[in-house]
Amino acid sequence: MSENYQQPHDSWLKSLGLRQLDGRPSEQAICEGYCKEKMSEFGSSWLWNKEKVCELLDGMQYRRGGSRADIEQHEDFVIIRGG
């Protein structure tokens, strides 16, 4: 699968109408290409289009984790300095 797909922040997507209250993608998210369903032998999962979702969230001025030099990512936690 393309590296352009990843899991975005759930509450942001709900506030934008792209996720239902139960966490499943909304019809809008599917129809507008924000996510697609991937089937496997173990069931299905939803893959989110990283470029499309990040463009939308950036336009809403949501702060992205990991995109600044003052963010340290560790195995079990993340440290955000400043801001």
- The pLDDT tens digits of the residues spanning 42-65 come to 888 888 898 898 888 888 877 666
Residue 13 backbone phi and psi in degrees, to 5: -65, -35
Q: How confident is the model at residue 4 (pLDDT cuts 50, 70, 90)?
A: very low
Q: What residues make up the domain containing 51?
A: 5-80
CA distance 11 to 34: 15
Indicate the residue type of 58: D
Total domains in the fold of the chain: 1
Comparing 9-13, 37-41, 53-57, 78-82, the range with the smallest average pLDDT is 78-82
Comparing 11-15, 41-45, 63-67, the range with the smallest average pLDDT is 63-67
Q: Which pTM does this prediction carry?
A: 0.61
